[in-house]
Amino acid sequence: MQNKLQELTDKLYNEGLSKGKQEGEAVLANARVQAAEIVENAKKEAAGIVAAARKEAENIRSKADGDLRIAAGQSIEATRQAIENLVVCNLTEKEVSSALTSAAFVKELLTAVVKAYSASSEAEELDAVLPEALKKETEPFIRKELASMLKGGLNVTYSKKISGGFTISPKGSGYFISFTDETFNSLISEYLRPATKKILFEK
């Protein structure tokens, strides 16, 4: 009887031990599978993060390159413009200023304009504004010679705002024609700029 009880006890123990071992191995195998999946998912996630970071870095680099190219282009264009302005100003301003602050040249130019008006207009009175600096040298000439050319007469005033040349207009017309140094500089510069740019910058 005692032997049978011992056999039964041993059998139950061995069966329990075997079952526990099987269950333990199953749990361990399942844990290994889950661990492998976790590692694989982590690798994929890490790869995605790295790829996104690389793409962002490339976008930033491309944008920076584009910004640098734009800035460089703007800088070159500004430098070209500065050189062009310097050359054109040196070519025009000195010569124009010299001519239009010369009393002899201003009298000659004013005479030509007055003659043109007198030939095309009937008894039209003109208003002219000349530089204050030329008053002493031009006033007698205008009063004695030019005024008599126009049937309507010529009214002349002098202004410190004009450094060279003059403006002229039909009296009460509301408009005037400018022959000042600023007007000539602007006009001549527009003609010179294309040629200057071609000489300086075209290959």
The model's pLDDT over 157-189, given as tens digits with 9 standing for 90+, comes to 899 988 888 888 888 777 778 878 777 666 666
Q: How far apart are CA 180 and CA 174, in angstroms?
A: 18
Residue 185 has which token pair?
């500089």
Q: Virtual CA dihedral for 144, 150, 152, 158, nearest 10 degrees?
A: -50
pLDDT tens digits, 118-158: 776 566 788 889 999 999 999 999 888 887 777 777 888 89
Q: Which residues pair with 177 in a beta bridge?
A: 168
Q: 3-state DSSP call for residue 162? A: coil
Supply the pTM of this predicted model: 0.48
- CA distances 155 to 112, 114, 147, 152, 172, Å, are 16, 12, 8, 10, 12
CATH 3.10.20.30 is right for the domain spanning 96-201: no
